[in-house]
Structure 1
Amino acid sequence: MRLTPGPARDVDLTGVDLFDLDLYGSGDPHPLWDVMRARAPLFHQVLPDGREFWSVTRYEDVRRVLSDHREFTSERGTVPTHLGTDDPAAGVLMTSTDPPRHTEVRRPLGSKLTARAVRVWEERIRATVVRFLEPALDGAVFDLAEQALLLPALVTGPLLGIPEKDWEELVRLTAMVTAPSDPHFLLGSEAATLAISHHELLTYVRDWARTHRAAGQEDESLLHHLTSVRPGGEPLSDEEIALDGYSILLGANVTTPHTVSGTVEALMERPEQYAKAAADPTLVPNLVEEGLRWTSAACNFMRYAVDEVEIAGGTVPAGGAVVAWIGSGNRDASVFPDPHTFDITRDGAKRHGAFGFGPHFCIGAPLARMTLRVFFEELLARFESLEPAGEPQHLRSYFIAGLTHLPLTGKKRRTTP
């Protein structure tokens, strides 16, 4: 979807379909979300097959839905592709589990991913980013979005304990999960694409766990750390490790590439912002936060109302599915003045909800922030300017906002590190 919206326009909400893939693949949902925040902050939609859901689009409502598991549970499914069919892994899969179990599984993993814990990875990540950028230094066309899909695996593969030979395939499978209708990843039907990717990812982690158990292998990898997690005092089964490892793989691979490419696209559209960041490297951390707000790569998450609940001036019935549109909340003018302006000096950019809120706040946020900071430090140090070299192509997904192609050329600085 377009991240820089077109002109504001009036929208007839009567026939709006928030699951229309064309709205995201080739369209512009931001003017629609602007109208919804103003006139229909709680929006009810019934799909042709009878499935229904309620949407919240204002920042505070998005935060409330994602923060309060007592009002809005994760234990029936958390992504719109599950709408109408409860997630069979709910209550076990970390992303589809509420506290206290969620906390018991998450806390020991989170201790390995604090800002202090991941700091030891910075120089390795920097070396990885430098190698990643090298092909663009000769001035040839470089498709950043296509290449960036592999960047998180290059960074997190060693941390997760995944051998390099498997990175590319796992990246493809995680992309299939989150964008099963995109022609780049579609295998037959959307349902078939989801089924294949789910099966292959779960099988991979299950086999990984069994092999490590059988061999008695000990290492510091995040996947191995799952074997020592004991919610309720009991170790995780191989199946539970497979499900939680699946969740970690998705979180590691899915959003960072699109934050990278979407932020670079915004900088190419605004060369004065690029020049400002290049002239003052201390702006890079805020550039990262503004990029996270601007791209909102995880466009939404879903919850279910535990009981009938009043929110956004309306009522959601008990058991109703609620989609919290992060991409809209991050453009709420009551929180982010002039929200459709990309401004790397924006005050309060870090308030964005790109990592979610509450118990399910992204466990890998410190690693993602460091990776993005290092990426832009190295990009700005090496390239005097970036120019588009073709039309961008957007991901066909209503869950992940991203790019599949962003061809560009870079003008190398006369002196580079």
Structure 2
Amino acid sequence: MRLTPGPDRDIDLDTVNLFDLDLYTAGDPHTVWNAMRAKAPLHHQVLPGGREFWSVTRYEDVCRVLGDHREFTSERGTVPTHLGTDDVAAGKLLTSTDPPRHTQVRRAIGAKLTARAVATWQDRIRQAIVGFLEPALDGEVFDLAERALLLPAMITGPLLGIPEKDWAELVQLTAMVTAPSDRHFCHGSEDATLAIAHHELLSYVTEWVKQRRASGEADGSVLDHLVNATAGDAPLTDEEIALDGYSILLGANVTTPHTVSGTVQALIEHPEQFARAQADESLIPNLVEEGLRWTSAATNFMRYAVDDIEIGGGTIPARGAVVAWIGSANRDELQFPDPHVFDIARNGAKRQVAFGFGPHFCIGAPLARMSLRIYFEELLRRFSSLEFAGEPEHLRSFFIAGMTHLPIVARKR
């Protein structure tokens, strides 16, 4: 998805198709979101076949939709690919469960993913990132976007308890879930791709748990913790373990690669920002926050209105699907002055909602933030400059904003 928009233009919002994959592959969604925030902060669209949804694009409205489960439930589906069909995992999958059950399960799982807990993994993560950057040191063309798909597995694989031999397969499967129409990941139709990926990922976690129980061995990994977690007064059910293990694999793999690629692209396009970060490492944590805001790799999340809800100058009817556009909220000029300027010293960059907002705020955010900080520390220490070596190829997805190819050349420092 194009991260730096072109000039604002007249857009007929009555005919805009926010599920048009070409808009994200070769178009300019930020100009559309600009127009929606200004003219239609609550936007209604009917898809062929009669499915319909409402969209919110302003920061405050996005936070309200994601933050208040009493008004907007997660228990009918949270991603647009579920639109029109209630999520069969509702009430069992953490991301499709409302409080109070969500709170119980999140507390049980999240104990392994707090900032304090993940800090103990820092050295292992740095070692993995150094290994990832090593091939770029020879000055040859390095396809960052393609290679970065494996980066989260290199970082989190050992922490999750996933053997290296399985990393590439799981990365492919999680990409199939989030970009089932992209030529790099599709297997037949979009529905077939999703069905294959869901089945294989759930089967993988189920078999992992089966082998773990048969061996009786504990490795201290996140998945091992999931097997032993207690929510409320009882252990998680096998179905909850399989679904939440699937969700953890998905969350670990799908956004970090595109945050890395999109932020590096911005640093190349703005060499003064690269030089500024290199001269002052204390700016790197804010560089990470600005990169998260700028890329907004998870472009949207979906909820359903519990009752008739007034928001954005209109009304969403009870049981209506509403898509909260993260990518737009993070460019809301009322929250982020000059939102289409990439500025690593931006005041308030940490208000970005790339990790979501409210009860479903990303459970892996501390690990993601630490990994991104270490990545840019090592990148800036090793390279004096970065240059494009070809055109980027954008991911064909309205859910994940990212690239499949970004050829670069890195000059050793």
- Structure 2 Cα separation of the partners of residues 130 and 219 of structure 1: 25
Give the corresponding residue for 1:324: 324
Give the corresponding residue for 1:110: 110
Give the corresponding residue for 1:257: 257
Q: Quote the offset at 1:233 in angstroms.
A: 1.7
Q: Quote the offset at 1:237 in angstroms.
A: 2.3
Task: Look up the equivalent residue of 1:211 and give its one-letter code.
Answer: Q
> Deviation per CA, 1:354-408, whole angstroms, max 9, x where unpaired?
0000110000001000000000000001110000000000000000000110000
Give the corresponding residue for 2:302: 302
- Structure 1 Cα separation of the partners of residues 214 and 232 of structure 2: 24
Give the corresponding residue for 1:7: 7
- Structure 1 Cα separation of the partners of residues 143 and 277 of structure 2: 22
Matched, 1:43 2:43: yes
Task: Look up the equivalent residue of 1:252 and give its one-letter code.
Answer: A
> Deviation per CA, 1:20-58, whole angstroms, max 9, x where unpaired?
000001111001100100000000000011000000000
Give the corresponding residue for 2:77: 77
Return 233-242 or 122-131, whichever deviates more. Answer: 233-242
- Structure 1 Cα separation of the partners of residues 208 and 267 of structure 2: 40
Give the corresponding residue for 2:26: 26
Task: Look up the equivalent residue of 1:233 and give its one-letter code.
Answer: D
Give the corresponding residue for 1:238: 238
Secondary structure of the 2:121 match is helix
Task: Look up the equivalent residue of 1:360 and give its one-letter code.
Answer: H
> Deviation per CA, 1:273-315, whole angstroms, max 9, x where unpaired?
1011111111100000000000000000000001111111110
Task: Look up the equivalent residue of 2:281 and give its one-letter code.
Answer: P
User: 1:150-299 counterparts in 2 under 5 A?
Assistant: 150-299=150-299
Preserved CA contact (<8 Å) 2:146 2:406: yes
CA-based RMSD of the aligned residues comes to: 0.7
Q: Quote the offset at 1:116 in angstroms.
A: 1.3
- Structure 2 Cα separation of the partners of residues 14 and 93 of structure 1: 35
Q: Quote the offset at 1:217 in angstroms.
A: 1.9
Task: Look up the equivalent residue of 1:295 and give its one-letter code.
Answer: T
Give the corresponding residue for 2:146: 146
- Structure 2 Cα separation of the partners of residues 12 and 371 of structure 1: 41
State the identity as a percent: 76
- Structure 1 Cα separation of the partners of residues 240 and 11 of structure 2: 45
- Structure 1 Cα separation of the partners of residues 336 and 315 of structure 2: 27
- Structure 2 Cα separation of the partners of residues 405 and 278 of structure 1: 25
> Deviation per CA, 1:123-143, whole angstroms, max 9, x where unpaired?
111111111001011110000
Preserved CA contact (<8 Å) 2:21 2:397: yes
Give the corresponding residue for 1:119: 119
Task: Look up the equivalent residue of 1:159 and give its one-letter code.
Answer: L
Gaps of 5+ in 2: none
Q: Quote the offset at 1:149 in angstroms.
A: 0.4
Give the corresponding residue for 1:359: 359
Preserved CA contact (<8 Å) 1:391 1:406: yes
Q: Taking structure 1 as the reference length, what is the TM-score of the superposition?
A: 0.98
Preserved CA contact (<8 Å) 1:303 1:323: yes
**Equivalent residues, number:** 413
Q: Quote the offset at 1:74 in angstroms.
A: 0.4
Q: Quote the offset at 1:162 in angstroms.
A: 0.8
Q: Quote the offset at 1:108 in angstroms.
A: 2.0
Q: Quote the offset at 1:173 in angstroms.
A: 0.2
Task: Look up the equivalent residue of 1:243 and give its one-letter code.
Answer: L
Task: Look up the equivalent residue of 2:326 and give its one-letter code.
Answer: I
Moved over 4 A (4+): none
Return 333-342 or 98-107, whichever deviates more. Answer: 98-107
Preserved CA contact (<8 Å) 1:210 1:238: no
Give the corresponding residue for 1:314: 314
Q: Quote the offset at 1:115 in angstroms.
A: 1.2
- Structure 1 Cα separation of the partners of residues 289 and 111 of structure 2: 23
Preserved CA contact (<8 Å) 2:92 2:239: no
Task: Look up the equivalent residue of 1:195 and give its one-letter code.
Answer: A
- Structure 1 Cα separation of the partners of residues 160 and 266 of structure 2: 31
Task: Look up the equivalent residue of 2:372 and give its one-letter code.
Answer: L
Secondary structure of the 1:13 match is coil
Secondary structure of the 1:53 match is strand
- Structure 1 Cα separation of the partners of residues 253 and 130 of structure 2: 19
Return 116-125 or 42-51, whichever deviates more. Answer: 116-125
Q: Quote the offset at 1:229 in angstroms.
A: 2.1
- Structure 1 Cα separation of the partners of residues 225 and 98 of structure 2: 21
Q: Quote the offset at 1:257 in angstroms.
A: 0.3
Return 114-123 or 233-242, whichever deviates more. Answer: 233-242
- Structure 1 Cα separation of the partners of residues 71 and 230 of structure 2: 27
Task: Look up the equivalent residue of 1:128 and give its one-letter code.
Answer: A
Task: Look up the equivalent residue of 1:38 and give its one-letter code.
Answer: A
